[in-house]
């Protein structure tokens, strides 16, 4: 296979050896052709380029084409003595003189110094087309990744902007009501709401005069203030984005080096064997709180899943761990600590600069789940696993995490207040020991189900209250099935029925239910700050602060009321 530069050079040399007659008759055309050649020298060789070059080729061997005439002296055909062929059309004669077959015969029998262009083979063209196709697919993949990241960042900024905009609107609303003497409604009270027979997720259409916009409630203010406090700082977000992108690029280089090594081995072992073997490492994907956008302030550990073509083994894990530091040094000058966690089927990468981040790269393969689904097949036992294969359950858990991230992005990311409430509950599970036993995936499913089943969009305060109401009703207790006939809180990412709450004991379910009921009572008595673990916010309008001087019973031990709920008797809260 010859590149474009070789082909253009032969074309220039061929022009220099043109016959004197053609040089005299067409000097302008020769100069123009010589000027065009250097411009096309840098272009890749394609069939279109070859056709253009062939049209610029000058005919050779006019003297070896005879005219065959009839008895009347009329030319009836032309005969080429070099090629031993005949043709009737003068245009065919010109095309034959420029053709590659005639030029090869002329070089062989008349002028050995004549340069004839080399036509690329079909295999060379296919290889070039395959390279171009893979390059386009790679560019499209990274373009989509960048668009997804940009969309997530815009959605996070949109949530924060909407919160502060509502705060300003609320301030203006109360200022207007303070100026208007008739309770803030110049045209009388608002008319009744229409029927709620609308599609879930759509707000009901009001009947009668349009009321003024209902401002954010006190619960909304508390929830959004808490959300702003637990949201990661800009420095933490940049650190996470940096280490994740560097890790992904380094794993791509590791995959390329392993593929090149396999190709070189195949060529040494068997030259006839095709070296284009599938990659051992198929790709790397983000999972967990990183893919779902649920990071909290202080989170230092994110997870990636590395997909392999075959079942991952300990030898493959060690090869990746050995090659990864070299590729990281190529991409970034910073130092990283890399450890092999064979029991976890993962590689753990730690940054050495502040803020210190940790990336857990878990190896898995879709082959494991496919084999797990056909356990009843007769041929399933014939496939032998590698002797050093990694833990099967860890690989299956990594595949499940991929499905969970995909489901969350499709169902929960676009649901109003859903991501905010899940962050609030994640913080609650970290603060309160009772809630630490609640599985994170089950909590995400429950929040999405509670908010999506509402008749309209939920504000943050209403959404939090609705989630606590669902848990307080005993929905996670055994015998109270979320889906009629189902085994509890079903996992939508599994084909077979699977209860996401199966890991919880009966006592843990009862404790969380009781804690949710207590939190719901605190919300009813405007004590949401105790549930969220924050200080009370100042009242925005002193007009509604007339009852704040009423004495309340103080906690003797100084412990937050919600976190110390197990130490108090129910009668202590009867005075609310």
Domains with residue ranges and CATH for the chain? 4-120 (no CATH), 240-265+277-375+383-411 (3.30.460.10), 414-576 (1.10.1410.40)
Looking at per-residue confidence, does 205 or 467 come out higher? 467
More confident residue, 555 or 217: 217
pLDDT score of 237 more than 80 = yes
pLDDT, one tens digit per residue, over 462-491 is 999 999 999 999 989 886 544 434 457 889
**Between helices 418-431 and 460-472, what is the axis angle to 10°?**
60
Q: Which two tokens stand for residue 552?
A: 């309340």
Give the pLDDT confidence of 71-90 residue by residue, as tens digits. 888 888 888 988 888 888 88
Strand order through the sheet with 346-351: 281-287, 301-308, 358-364, 346-351, 336-341
382 vs 197, which has greater pLDDT?
Answer: 382
Tell me what percent of the chain is helix, strand and coil, each rounded to the nearest 5.
55, 10, 35
Nearby residues of 549 by Cβ (< 8 Å), 6 or more positions away: none
Cα 525 from chain centroid (whole Å)? 43
- Full strand arrangement of the beta sheet holding 85-87: 65-69, 75-80, 85-87
- Residues 180-188 have a mean pLDDT of 47
pLDDT of residue 7: 42
Average pLDDT of the residues of the chain: 76
Average pLDDT on 234-261 reads: 90
> What pLDDT is stored for residue 12 in this prediction?
42
The model's confidence at residue 540, banded by pLDDT at 50, 70 and 90, is: low
Note whether 118 and 7 are within 8 A (CB).
yes
Give mean pLDDT, residues 139-148: 88
- Is the pLDDT at 377 greater than 60, yes or no? no
92-113 pLDDT per residue, tens: 888 888 888 888 888 888 888 8
In sequence order, the β-bridge partners of residue 78 are 67, 87
Which pair of structure tokens corresponds to residue 438? 């609640």
Whether 247 shows a pLDDT value over 50: the answer reads yes
Predicted pLDDT of residue 191: 40
Q: Express each pLDDT in 384-429 by its tens digit.
A: 666 778 889 999 999 999 999 999 999 998 888 899 999 999 999 9
Taking the C-alpha atoms of 48, 52, 55 and 58 in order, what is their torsion angle to the nearest 10 degrees? -130
Q: Which residue from 492, 309, 530 is spatially nearest to 412, judged by alpha carbons?
A: 492
Helix, strand, or coil (residue 473): coil
Would you say how long the chain is, in residues?
A: 576
256-297: pLDDT as tens digits: 888 888 878 776 655 544 444 568 888 899 999 999 999 999
Residue 564 has pLDDT above 70, yes or no: no
């Amino acid at each position: 296979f010859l590149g474009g530069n070789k082909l253009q050079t032969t074309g220039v040399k061929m022009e220099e050896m043109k016959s004197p007659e053609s040089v005299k008759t067409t000097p302008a055309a020769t100069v123009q052709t010589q000027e065009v050649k250097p411009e096309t020298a840098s272009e890749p060789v394609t069939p279109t380029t070859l056709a253009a070059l062939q049209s610029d080729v000058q005919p050779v061997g006019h003297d070896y084409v005879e005219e065959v005439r009839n008895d009347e002296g009329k030319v009836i055909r032309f005969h080429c003595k070099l090629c031993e062929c005949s043709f009737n059309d003068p245009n065919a004669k010109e095309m034959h003189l420029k053709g590659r077959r005639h030029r090869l015969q002329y070089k062989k029998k008349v002028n050995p110094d004549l340069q004839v262009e080399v036509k690329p083979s079909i295999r060379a063209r296919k290889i070039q087309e395959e390279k171009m196709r893979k390059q386009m697919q790679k560019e499209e993949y990274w373009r989509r990744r960048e668009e997804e990241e940009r969309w997530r960042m815009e959605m996070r900024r949109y949530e924060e902007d909407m919160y502060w905009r509502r705060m300003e609107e609320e301030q203006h609303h109360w200022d207007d009501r303070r100026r208007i003497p008739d309770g803030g409604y110049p045209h009388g009270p608002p008319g009744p709401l229409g029927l709620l027979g609308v599609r879930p997720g759509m707000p009901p259409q009001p009947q009668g005069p349009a009321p003024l916009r209902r401002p954010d409630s006190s619960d909304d203010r508390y929830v959004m203030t808490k959300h702003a406090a637990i949201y990661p700082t800009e420095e933490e977000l940049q650190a996470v984005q940096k280490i994740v992108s560097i890790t992904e690029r380094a794993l791509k280089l590791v995959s390329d080096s392993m593929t090149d090594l396999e190709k070189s081995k195949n060529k040494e072992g068997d030259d006839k064997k095709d070296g284009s073997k599938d990659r051992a490492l198929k790709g790397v994907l983000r999972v967990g709180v990183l893919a779902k956008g649920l990071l909290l302030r202080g989170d230092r550990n994110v997870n990636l899943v590395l997909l392999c073509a075959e079942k991952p083994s300990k030898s493959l894990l060690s090869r990746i761990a050995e090659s990864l530091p070299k590729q990281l040094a190529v991409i970034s000058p910073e130092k990283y600590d890399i450890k092999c966690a064979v029991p976890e089927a993962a590689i753990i990468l730690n940054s050495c600069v502040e803020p210190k981040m940790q990336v857990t790269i878990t190896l898995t393969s879709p082959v494991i789940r496919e084999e797990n689904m056909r356990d009843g097949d007769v041929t399933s036992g014939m496939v032998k696993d590698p002797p050093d294969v990694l833990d099967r359950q860890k690989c299956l858990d990594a595949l499940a995490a991929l499905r969970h991230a995909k489901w969350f992005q499709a169902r929960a990311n676009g649901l109003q207040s859903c991501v905010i409430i899940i962050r609030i509950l994640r913080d609650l599970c970290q603060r309160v020991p009772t809630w630490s036993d609640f599985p994170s995936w089950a909590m995400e499913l429950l929040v999405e189900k509670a908010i999506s089943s509402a008749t309209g969009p939920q504000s943050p305060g209403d959404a939090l209250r609705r989630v606590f109401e669902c848990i307080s009703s005993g929905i996670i207790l055994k015998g109270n099935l979320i889906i009629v006939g189902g085994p509890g809180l079903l996992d939508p990412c599994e084909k077979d029925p699977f209860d996401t709450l199966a890991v919880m004991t009966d006592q843990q379910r009862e404790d969380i239910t009781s804690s949710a009921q207590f939190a719901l009572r605190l919300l009813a008595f405007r004590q949401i700050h105790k549930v969220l673990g924050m200080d009370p916010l100042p009242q925005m309008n002193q007009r509604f602060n007339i009852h704040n001087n009423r004495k309340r019973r103080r906690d003797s031990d100084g412990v937050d009321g919600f976190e110390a709920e197990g130490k108090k008797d129910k009668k202590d809260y009867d005075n609310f």
